[in-house]
C-alpha cells in the first residue's frame, strides 16, 4: 500500500502518517528524516544537499527526488510506505510517478487532510519540535509527557522559526501556490480522498482507515 499525505502545513498529516504506518506495518517516510539521515551519514546526496542548505537555498528537486527514490529501494518498503512532505510540487509528483511506473508500481492513495487557513495559524503557534530526533508536539493537542522535553529522546523542544505566527502566513502562501495543485493532480489519477482535518485526531484517523480499507 503506497500512500501520500497531502494538506497544508500544520494540518496534522505527519501525526496521521505515523499512525497509518504503525497500523499497516509500513514505513513512515518524511523528507525531513531523509535529509537528516543523509546528512548524518555523509552520503554523496547528503553532501550535495548540504551545499544548498548552507547557503539558505532550497535543495533542487533532482537531489530531493534522488534521496527519496534511494530510500524507497530499501527492504522495509517492499509492502508499501506512507510519504509525508513529498511531493511538494507537480514536477516532484511527476518524477515520483515515472520512477514508480518504471518498476510497475503506482500510488494507491493520496489522502488530503483539509484544514482552513485560520485554523492552521492557530495550531502552528502551539507546535514544538525536537531538534535532535525530529519528533513534533503541540502544547494543547498533543503535549509531551514532560513539559519542554521530547518523549522519544529527552532533548529540549523548541518553537521552530517557521511555526511562529509572523511566518505562518508566508508558508500558507507558498503551500497554496506550489503544493495545493497536487490535490487536483491526484484527483485526476483517481486516487485522492479528502478528510476533515478540523475533527479530533482519533476521528480523522478512523476516517482515513475507513477510506484505506
pLDDT of residue 32: 82
Q: What pLDDT, in 10s, does the model give residues 174-200?
A: 889 888 999 999 999 999 999 999 999
Assess whether 154 and 181 both reside in one domain.
no
Per-residue pLDDT band for 168 (boundaries 50, 70, 90) equals confident
> Please, what sign has the CA dihedral across residues 175, 177, 182, 187?
positive
Task: Give me the number of domains the chain comprises.
Answer: 2
Q: What pLDDT, in 10s, does the model give residues 20-51?
A: 999 999 999 998 888 888 888 888 888 888 88
Assess whether 93 and 77 both reside in one domain.
yes
Q: What pLDDT, in 10s, does the model give residues 68-103?
A: 888 998 999 999 999 998 998 999 999 999 989 988
Structural domain contains residue 137: yes
Per-residue pLDDT band for 127 (boundaries 50, 70, 90) equals confident
Mean pLDDT of 137-149: 91
Cα(9)–Cα(163) distance, integer angstroms:
9
Per-residue pLDDT band for 53 (boundaries 50, 70, 90) equals confident
Assess whether 107 and 150 both reside in one domain.
no
Asked if residue 207 has pLDDT above 90, the reply is: yes
Per-residue pLDDT band for 146 (boundaries 50, 70, 90) equals very high
Per-residue pLDDT band for 151 (boundaries 50, 70, 90) equals very high
Q: What pLDDT, in 10s, does the model give residues 3-26?
A: 999 999 889 899 999 999 999 999
Assess whether 136 and 73 both reside in one domain.
no
Assess whether 49 and 154 both reside in one domain.
no
User: Domain of 103: which CATH number?
Assistant: 3.40.50.300
Task: Identify the residue with better confidence: 104 or 151.
Answer: 151
Write out the catalytic residue numbers. 13, 88, 127, 160, 171
Domain with 147, as residue range(s), is 126-163
Share of the chain above pLDDT 90, in %: 55
pLDDT of residue 26: 97
Structural domain contains residue 206: yes
Residue 18: other Cβ atoms inside 10 A: 17
Assess whether 175 and 145 both reside in one domain.
no
Instruction: Tell me, yes or no, if the pTM score tops 0.75.
Output: yes
Amino acid at each position: 500500500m503506497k500512500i501520500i499525505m497531502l494538506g497544508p502545513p500544520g494540518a496534522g498529516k505527519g501525526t496521521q502518517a505515523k499512525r497509518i504506518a504503525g497500523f499497516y506495518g509500513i514505513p513512515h517516510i518524511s523528507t525531513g528524516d531523509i535529509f537528516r539521515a543523509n546528512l548524518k551519514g555523509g552520503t554523496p546526496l547528503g553532501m550535495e544537499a548540504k551545499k544548498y542548505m548552507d547557503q539558505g537555498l532550497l535543495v533542487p528537486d533532482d537531489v530531493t527526488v534522488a534521496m527519496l527514490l534511494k530510500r524507497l529501494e530499501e527492504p522495509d518498503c517492499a509492502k508499501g510506505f506512507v510519504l509525508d512532505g513529498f511531493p511538494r510540487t507537480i514536477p516532484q509528483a511527476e518524477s515520483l510517478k515515472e520512477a514508480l511506473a518504471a518498476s510497475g508500481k503506482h500510488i494507491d492513495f493520496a489522502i488530503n487532510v483539509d484544514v482552513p487557513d485560520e485554523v492552521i495559524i492557530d495550531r502552528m503557534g502551539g507546535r514544538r519540535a525536537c531538534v535532535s530526533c525530529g519528533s513534533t508536539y503541540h502544547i494543547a493537542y498533543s503535549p509531551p509527557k514532560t513539559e519542554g522535553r521530547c518523549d522519544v529522546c529527552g532533548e529540549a523542544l523548541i518553537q521552530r522559526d517557521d511555526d511562529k505566527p509572523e511566518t505562518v502566513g508566508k508558508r500558507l502562501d507558498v503551500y497554496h501556490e506550489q503544493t495545493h495543485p497536487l490535490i487536483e493532480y491526484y484527483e485526476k489519477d483517481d486516487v485522492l480522498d479528502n478528510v476533515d482535518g478540523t475533527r479530533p485526531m482519533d476521528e480523522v484517523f478512523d476516517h482515513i482507515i475507513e477510506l484505506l480499507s
